[in-house]
Chain A
Amino acid sequence: MKSSVIVFPGSNCDRDVAVALTKFQIENQMVWHNETQLPKSDLVVLPGGFSYGDYLRTGSIASKSRIINDVIRHGKKGGLILGICNGFQILIETGLLPGVLLRNKKLRFLSKNILLKVLNTNNKFCSNYKNKNIIQLPIAHNEGNFFANNELLKNLEDNNLIAFKYCDERGKIEKNSNPNGSSNNIAGILNPEKNILGMMPHPERFIDPLLSGEDGSILFKSLLRPE
């Protein structure tokens, strides 16, 4: 499997995710935002960070960068795209995923480990979560408050396009377990074709049993699972 990690000025999780991809034998290339063509890739990763210093709106400038046209083409052809944190914000600004990410409800930058329930395992990113659907991953964001109107929320729920929701230890999805105020506790969503995943938590930071835990590894291993 081949992947490309897009690097924007201000990306800061690009190398972490590259380490994760390489660890799971995914052949990765870093692609600078000014390029116009992606190298041959099965997966494109938009990494976390503060692309363009979060100017204007988070992800908005990156969503108009040169490489993005080819990323959009890749996604429309069914190629896999994973947007993590700022990458999720960029995916929303490009229109590849719906909704909007507002500032966290309590206006604080959040950096902590949270619990998630995996709600859709029927996609390339999450298939290996079948055996473990309550997981722990870190979040680190200021604009992670996913907001959608009722119509969109219904559409996401009815079509099973919500990949992750914030939950408690028993997997209960309640207000108390929602760190940022997101609609219906949403932490990550898929497009209808399920080849594009945007998520606020950072799986690339949880790939080492000694340092963190391996709940992030499961996502990368899912990618390698044959159809």
Chain B
Amino acid sequence: MKISATVTLKKDVLDPQGKVVGQTLKNMGYENIINIRQGKYFEIELNESDEIKAKKIVEEICKKLLSNIVIEDYKINYK
């Protein structure tokens, strides 16, 4: 089973990279850009056919390793 997860900095944590990317896009003429947040994307391939079990595992690894829950939010994207 394939599941993906996105990890981004929490809203109230400064994301300097996203800010620079946003500013650069504005400089390039994209004036309608309001805000950019940069994050990480993980594609997780699991040897598990039970969807509920698979979701539980991904939830766990997001909490334990893929994100630092002090400053980051994770979002699991089921297909």
A residues apposed to B, CB below 8 Å:
56-57, 60, 64, 93, 99-100, 102-103, 105, 107, 147
Task: List B residues 3-59 near A (Cβ within 8 Å).
Answer: 13-14, 16-17, 20, 40
Q: How far is the CA of A64 from the CA of B16 in the complex (A)?
A: 27
Q: What are 18 residue pairs bridging A and B, where the CB atoms are less than 8 Å apart in the complex?
A: A56-B40, A56-B65, A56-B66, A60-B68, A64-B65, A93-B68, A99-B70, A100-B68, A100-B71, A102-B13, A102-B71, A103-B17, A105-B14, A105-B16, A107-B16, A107-B20, A147-B13, A147-B71
B interface: dominant SS: mixed
Q: Which residue from chain A places its CB closest to the CB of B67 in the assembled complex?
A: A57
Residue of B nearest to A98 (CB): B70
CA distance A56 to B70 in the complex (A): 15
Known: A107-B16, A147-B13. A100 touches B70 (CB 8 A): yes
Q: Which residues of A contact B68 (CB under 8 A)?
A: 57, 60, 93, 100
Knowing A102-B14, A103-B16, A107-B20 touch, does A60 contact B65 (C-beta < 8 A)?
yes
Report how far A105 CA is from B20 CA in the complex, Å: 12
Q: How far is the CA of A225 from the CA of B59 in the complex (A)?
A: 47
Chain A contacts for B13, CB-based, 8 A: 102, 147
**4 closest Cβ pairs, A-B complex:** A100-B70, A100-B71, A107-B16, A57-B68
Contacts of B71 in A (CB 8 A): 100, 102, 147
Question: Which residue in chain B gives the minimum CB-CB distance to A93?
Answer: B68
**B19: nearest chain-A partner, CB-CB:** A107
Chain B residues near A103 (CB-CB < 8 A): 16-17
Chain A min CB distance to B9 (Å)? 9
Chain B residues, CB < 8 A from A57: 68
